[in-house]
Each structure stands twice: as structure tokens, then as C-alpha cells.
Chain A
Amino acid sequence: MSSAVLHIAFEQHQVIVEAHSLDIAIILKQWFHAMLVPPLSQMAIARQLIITQLNHGYRLQDSSLLNKTFADTPWLLQAVKYEIVTSLIHARPDLLWFHAGAVAAQDGAILVASPGGGGKSTLITRLSQQGWCYLSDDAIPFDVCNQTVLPFPQTPRIRENTGALVPSNQLATIAKHDVMLTGDRLCTSPMRLKGLLFPRYCPNTSAQLTPYSPAQATIELLRNCINFTYHKQTAIQQLCNITQSCPAASLIFNNADHALTCVLNWQSSGSVR
């Protein structure tokens, strides 16, 4: 049986995935294309995952207690992605992690945070295609010491536009397709945060960008903070520091092109420092 070993890395920590299924390995390679490192890299191992193929499905294991079986490939892939990302999050608990993406232009990055289905990935890939550098799509770490966001460049995946609002519990039913970003489209160094954007997809509303007060932006960041419970009061203080120095805005849109125009106008108007 053919197998492949992937080394997925973030900031001197790596997760090793041994996939005894070439199909699974190919998909994971695509999803973590920009985070792969050579096998002999001297990084600390945060986790080792093993995927074995069964007669009717797959098994996902690690060196400790993880032992799950999946009948469907999509559920396996989601579980593997979840284990990889959370392992890297746990490897760096000193960072504040957000369910957000980020893109960078000129001298700073804009953090784009929203719950699932908000249009975050669509907006980030559009900005990347406009020349902005891509940092992340799904999870982004913030270094509170240096006040910078770090690259976590999973391959962005955008949902098909159904033209309607889909309940959060049905988002998984909508097909996604990968947007491969390579070369100079990828940002490889930490970037100063210069703006916060909170998009929300709304089918019957034309694009509207509304400035947020620091308190509103703090609450939105709290909602999207993955490891808030690890830091609690410290996290809130850090978020207050961020929002007091960083302009924030909400963006309601139903058309990605109009949303892009709003963001570019906002960025060029001087509101984003």
C-alpha cells in the first residue's frame, strides 16, 4: 500500500502526518501546500498523525489517545485538518489565535474575522488576486509582544455562491474549491496590524462598510478568539490595546466585487493607518 509522509510546519513546530492513502495525501498536500517543509527539518514535533485505510473507510490515530474511524473521506479530511491546526495552536499558546484570515499590503496587514459563511475566504482571495500578500484564511496568530500577525498560510478554500443565506449547521453541505496561491502572493514574515474587518454575507444587501468603535471591534475579536479561555482577562486587555490603535469596520455585502471596492476605498482613504 502506497503512503506519504507530510511535514506541516509553523514557527519551528511541525505536525507529521503519515497517510497510508495517496488520495488523502494529495489532498492534504494541496491544503497545506505553503506550510510543507522537508522531512529532515529540525523542528520540534507537535504531533504525529497516522491515517490508515480500512475496508470501508479510514482510521485516524496519533501516538496517544486519538483513535477515530471515518466512513466518508470529507469527514476524515476535516478531522485531520482540525487536528493539525489545533496541534499547532497548542504548540504556541503564547500567541492569540483568531478564527480569521489576513492579507497584507505595503506596510501592514488587515485582519478579516467572521464566523463560518461570512465571506472571509472569498474576500481574502479576491484581495490576494488584487496584489495583496496572503497570510492566512482560517486561523491567524497574533503576537502580542510585537503587535504583529504571523503567516499561517493554509490554502484558502471558498464556497460556491448559492445566492442565499445558509444556516451555519448546513455550511458543510456547500462545496468548496481551493485557490492556490504561490510565490510572491504569499507573505512569509510577520506584519504589523493596521486594520480590522468584520465581513458578513447578506444576499439582498448591497455592499456597505461601516466603521466600528473600539468596543464593538473588541467584542467581535472576542467572538473569534480561538484560545481566549487560555488567557481570559489578559486576552481582553490585549484586544483592547489592538482596537484602540487599529481602525475597524464591518462590511455587509452580497457581491464580492462590490465588497472589494469598499475595502480598497477604505484602505486608500487613510482610515486604515
Chain B
Amino acid sequence: QLDWEQVVRQAKQNHAYRMVLLGIALAKNVMGATLSESMNSLIQRDRSVSRLMQHACLYMFGKPANPSAKLFVETLAPTPAQPTRRFSPTRFRLAVCDRWQDQVQYGVWRMLVPNVRDRQRVVLPRPLSFLYYLIRPLRLVGEHLRWVEHPRLGSQHNLHPLPTTSQNNLPLLTSDRPQTRTDLDVYCLDDERIIYCSNHELGIALNPSSSMIWDCCDGTHTLEDMGVMISQQVGCSPEAIIEDIWMAVLEFRRLRLLVES
């Protein structure tokens, strides 16, 4: 029930018009969202949106949304594009900018703001970390001119391990034994559940699949255990459902339905 005219107006004011159009186009082509005629015509009017959408799909799924669409990289790259080649994120981000001023700003930001690759190249103590703002442009120029080797993420060369969080690290989570809170009211509707949290005035409906996962969250089963148990009930392999179980438990955690471990 969005006022799309208002959305478009604000997007233009914030110089994010093409980004918003791209997001809407992806929602339509990837998720099957229904758009109004006015939004469809806006998307069709901006030809770059269609190209950007193909590249976004290539980046996310390894294939374009429309296999017959001509890709941006094929028209500009001097060598034929390989089916598995990933589109440059930098080019993509430049292409979604509305104005040349935004492209310049992004370029300057890319040149100056250090990232993990800079920290891999040169290891500096924390008091000297400001020097990364000088090292970065030199590194980029050096890699472009092939004076220095382009580092690969994850290589052992001067690698500093990044901090991991339980939300992003699957191996860490699979060893957890999630347990539902005991202060919640749970109502059984055949193979579904209604959960009511009076503290947060929150009501949640669980469909049959998530109800099975919920029932397994008793503090004694790991995610792998749940995968085995549920796979026997539904008649599939544990590998086929482990990711769904992980997502469901993450959502239970996000909604604060689990005991904090």
C-alpha cells in the first residue's frame, strides 16, 4: 500500500532513483511481485535498469534473469565473457549512481577508504592504522600496473582472522542446542503453533514445518540432530533441510523466543 509516487519523488531527491528502480525491477522479476503500470513504464524507460538487473542476477545466482539478454560485460569487455565470470562490483555500483557527482564520490571513497585487502598487504599496529589511507591508493595503483600481486582473500599471506559472529558462522551455530523460552504461551493447532509472548506483546504463527523445528528446540538437540529427526518424518535427506532449520532457528533467535546461550 505504498504511495509509489512519493517513493519515486524521495528517491530522486536523495539521488537514489536508479537504485530504487533496480530494487523494484528485481522484486518483479525474481520474486514475482506485481507492479502498477506506472512503475512498469518507469522501469522500462530507464534502459540501464534492465542491464543492471541482469548483472545482479548473475552475481546472485550465477545466471542472468533473462538468458537471452545481452550483458553489460559482453558489450564492454575486450575479451569474450565467460559464463561463470562475475561482474565487477565497482562497475556495478558506479552504474547504479544517478549522477556523475555520485560516481566521483564513490570513486574517491573506493580509492581512499581502506579495507581488508589493505590490511592483508601490510600489517600495521593499531596506532599506525591511519597510514592505511596512504597505503591503499598506492596498492591500487601498484596492482593496476602489476607492480604488486593482487592478494586473494583467505590466503595465508599476512592473514588476520576476521571476528566471527554466531549469526554469520554456520559451524558455530550447528553445535548450539537451542531451547525455547519457558515463559511463552504456546497453543497447538493440530500441526501448527501459535506462540504468544506477553512481555513483548508478540503473537507468532508457526506453519507445520517450523512447528516441527520448534518442537525440537528443547535444549538437547543440535541442528544436525534436528535435521536427522525431521528428515525421518518428512522423508528426505537431512542435507536437504539443514539450511531451512538453520534459518528457522535464526528467526526464533531474532524474535527472542529462545533461551540466550
Interface size on B, residues (CB 8 A): 20
| B194 proximity list for chain A (CB < 8 A) | 215, 218-219, 236, 240
Other-chain residue from B1, B3, B36, B189 in contact with A215 (beta carbon distance below 8 A):
B189
B34 and A240 within 8 A (CB): no
CB distance from B184 to the nearest CB of A (A): 11
A168 and B1 within 8 A (CB): yes
A213 and B187 within 8 A (CB): no
Any B CB within 8 A of the CB of A183: no
B189 and A240 within 8 A (CB): yes
A215 and B192 within 8 A (CB): yes
| B2 proximity list for chain A (CB < 8 A) | 165, 167
Any A CB within 8 A of the CB of B193: yes
| B206 proximity list for chain A (CB < 8 A) | 215
Any B CB within 8 A of the CB of A233: yes
Q: What residue of chain A has the Cβ atom nearest to residue B201's Cβ?
A: A229
| A233 proximity list for chain B (CB < 8 A) | 185, 196, 198
Other-chain residue from A167, A204, A243 in contact with B189 (beta carbon distance below 8 A):
A243
The CA-CA distance from A82 to B249 in the complex, in Å, is 43
Q: What residue of chain B has the Cβ atom nearest to residue A115's Cβ?
A: B1
Quick one: given A167-B3, A204-B34, are A222 and B203 in contact (CB under 8 Å)? Answer: yes
Quick one: given A204-B36, A236-B196, are A218 and B3 in contact (CB under 8 Å)? Answer: no
Any B CB within 8 A of the CB of A216: yes
Q: What residue of chain A has the Cβ atom nearest to residue B4's Cβ?
A: A165
Any A CB within 8 A of the CB of B175: no
Query: A224-273: which have CB < 8 Å to B?
Result: 232-233, 236-237, 240, 243-244
The CA-CA distance from A165 to B189 in the complex, in Å, is 34
Quick one: given A236-B187, A240-B187, A244-B190, are A165 and B1 in contact (CB under 8 Å)? Answer: yes
Q: What residue of chain B has the Cβ atom nearest to residue A239's Cβ?
A: B194
Quick one: given A167-B3, A219-B203, are A213 and B192 in contact (CB under 8 Å)? Answer: yes
The DSSP consensus for interface residues of chain B is strand
Any A CB within 8 A of the CB of B205: yes
| B1 proximity list for chain A (CB < 8 A) | 117, 165-168
Q: What residue of chain B has the Cβ atom nearest to residue A164's Cβ?
A: B36
B203 and A236 within 8 A (CB): yes
A215 and B203 within 8 A (CB): no
CB distance from B195 to the nearest CB of A (A): 10
Quick one: given A204-B36, A205-B34, are A214 and B189 in contact (CB under 8 Å)? Answer: yes
Quick one: given A236-B196, A240-B187, are A216 and B3 in contact (CB under 8 Å)? Answer: no
| A237 proximity list for chain B (CB < 8 A) | 187
| B158 proximity list for chain A (CB < 8 A) | none
| A214 proximity list for chain B (CB < 8 A) | 189-190, 192
Binary CB contact string for chain B from 1 to 20 against chain A (1 if under 8 A, 0 otherwise): 11100000000000000000
CB distance from A238 to the nearest CB of B (A): 11
Any A CB within 8 A of the CB of B207: yes
Query: A150-173: which have CB < 8 Å to B?
Result: 165-168
CB distance from B190 to the nearest CB of A (A): 7
CB distance from A92 to the nearest CB of B (A): 23
Quick one: given A168-B1, A233-B196, are A219 and B205 in contact (CB under 8 Å)? Answer: yes
| B187 proximity list for chain A (CB < 8 A) | 218, 236-237, 240
The CA-CA distance from A205 to B32 in the complex, in Å, is 13
B207 and A215 within 8 A (CB): yes
Q: What residue of chain B has the Cβ atom nearest to residue A166's Cβ?
A: B1
| A236 proximity list for chain B (CB < 8 A) | 185, 187, 194, 196, 203
CB distance from A213 to the nearest CB of B (A): 6
A214, A216, A232, A243 — which one has the most chain B CB atoms within 10 A of its CB?
A214
Q: What residue of chain B has the Cβ atom nearest to residue A165's Cβ?
A: B1
The CA-CA distance from A66 to B224 in the complex, in Å, is 61
Query: What 4 new A-B contacts, CB under 8 Å, besides A204-B37, A219-B194, A232-B196?
Result: A165-B1, A168-B1, A214-B192, A218-B189
Which 10 A-B residue pairs are closest in the complex by CB-CB distance? Answer: A215-B192, A215-B205, A214-B189, A219-B205, A165-B1, A240-B187, A222-B203, A215-B189, A218-B194, A233-B185
Q: Which residues of B contact A (CB under 8 A)?
A: 1-3, 34, 36-37, 185, 187, 189-190, 192-194, 196, 198, 203-207
For this complex, 21 residue pairs linking A to B, each with C-beta atoms less than 8 Å apart, are A165-B1, A167-B3, A168-B1, A205-B34, A214-B190, A215-B192, A215-B205, A216-B205, A218-B187, A218-B189, A219-B203, A219-B205, A232-B196, A232-B198, A233-B185, A233-B198, A236-B203, A237-B187, A240-B187, A240-B194, A244-B189
